[in-house]
Amino acid sequence: MTAKAEKVLDAALALTSIERANLAEKIVASIGADMDPNIESVQLDEVERRAQQHDSGNVNLIPGDDVMAQARKLSRQ
């Protein structure tokens, strides 16, 4: 990461969680604006495939809180 990016990151981390979430949303949206349309199409196809798997009962969803708890546990190991 460049020094400029590090400086921006440090400033962003000093924000409230709501401010960071809003900032992250805007950053992600800006990335999407530069995205190759073919990539977007592939991503949408993947979303549709996963939705069909869920609808057919072939996969089980895990609540986000459970995933985050497991990730925190793994990161402490």
C-alpha 14/C-alpha 20 separation (Å) is 9
Q: What is the extent of the structural domain holding 14?
A: 3-75
Confidence of residue 23 (pLDDT cuts 50, 70, 90): very high
> Residue 19: its pLDDT value, please?
94
- What are the structure tokens assigned to 73, written together? 């546990």
pTM above 0.75, yes or no: no
Cα-based angle 49, 53, 55 (whole degrees, multiple of 5): 115
pLDDT in tens, 41-51: 888 899 999 99
Q: Are 41 and 49 in contact (CB under 8 A)?
A: no
Q: What is the mean pLDDT of residues 58-72?
A: 92
Residue 33 identity = A
Domain count of the chain? Answer: 1
What average pLDDT does this structure show over 2-23?
Answer: 94
